């Protein structure tokens, strides 16, 4: 029997002015072929003609690039 993969997640809380934390194991669903990593997902989307979503979205990638370039310009100009 195969063991299901689990992700360890830190959980923080506040109760009666007391901060608490614990580690919780969350079960992970198996990803389908073509969705196991960003490059595989992006290539599959291109292959089947689907618009990439989420973190692989071209719109999100462009926005992130513009933010990084603005930061670089600011750092080099001192403003």
**Average pLDDT for runs of 10 along the chain of length 79:** 74 82 85 82 91 87 94 90
- Alpha-carbon torsion 46, 48, 54, 59, what sign? positive
Q: Output the pTM of the full model.
A: 0.47
Answer for the pair 23, 33: CB distance below 8 angstroms, yes or no: no
Pairwise CA distance, residues 26 & 56, whole Å: 24
């Amino acid at each position: 029997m195969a063991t299901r993969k689990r992700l360890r997640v830190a959980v923080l809380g506040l109760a009666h002015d007391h901060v608490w934390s614990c580690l919780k194991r969350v079960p992970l669903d198996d990803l389908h072929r073509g969705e196991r990593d960003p490059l595989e997902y992006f290539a599959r989307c291109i292959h089947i003609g689907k618009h990439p979503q989420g973190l692989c979205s071209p719109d999100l990638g462009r926005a992130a690039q513009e933010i990084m370039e603005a930061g670089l310009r600011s750092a080099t100009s001192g403003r």
